[in-house]
Amino acid sequence: MTGYYPTMPSAGGPVPSPRRGPVPPAVEQAFRLTLVHVGIAVVGLIVTLVTLSSARQEVLDRNPGFSRSEVDTAVHIVVAVAVIAVAINAGLYIWLAIKFRQGRNWARITMWVFTGLGVVGMLSSFAQTETGAARVVSVISGLLDIAVIVLLARPGNGPFFNPPPPPAWAPGPYGPPPGPFQQPYVP
């Protein structure tokens, strides 16, 4: 006992999280399409790394005054940025997919934002000069983003992402908490 107040007994453990139902089919499909999207991004990176000679030639064509070392530096910077961007994108998409598959509403909303940006990126690719393969990858990624947005927005997913609230207390070894706690009068 410390001071005037007795020590309160423990509640017997953490409050259990509310039970969610099974993952809705639309959420499962969105999860799988997100993984396909990541796979396409990784394959696109590998294709970019395999075709480095064309990237070197493109840098040289756009900047005829560059020396060989300047061209190599520019290509290495482009490769480093591409590898870092794909790694961050892949990690973020996989993490968000795992979280929205677990029923986290914040992950669903965040995924809408990122896939919406992906759709904007696809649309902006039409205003740029790209190779045929890059354009195809961009369009496929954009279409996958649209599909993920639609699947995560289906009305039947609402109960999965908004489970019932947890109980106000967890039953412990001493039963439910007593009524209002009476403070002793201390003059």
Considering only CA atoms, which of 115, 125, 117 is closest in space to residue 146? Answer: 115
> Which pLDDT score, from 0 to 100, does residue 187 have?
60
Q: What is the pLDDT of residues 60-115, one digit of tens each?
A: 787 788 787 888 887 888 889 989 999 999 999 999 999 999 989 999 999 999 99
Q: 141: buried, middle or exposed (CB in 10 Å: 19+, 13-18, 0-12)?
A: buried
> Which pLDDT score, from 0 to 100, does residue 132 have?
73
> Which pLDDT score, from 0 to 100, does residue 9 have?
55
Q: Which residues of the chain have pLDDT under 70?
A: 1-20, 130-131, 163-187
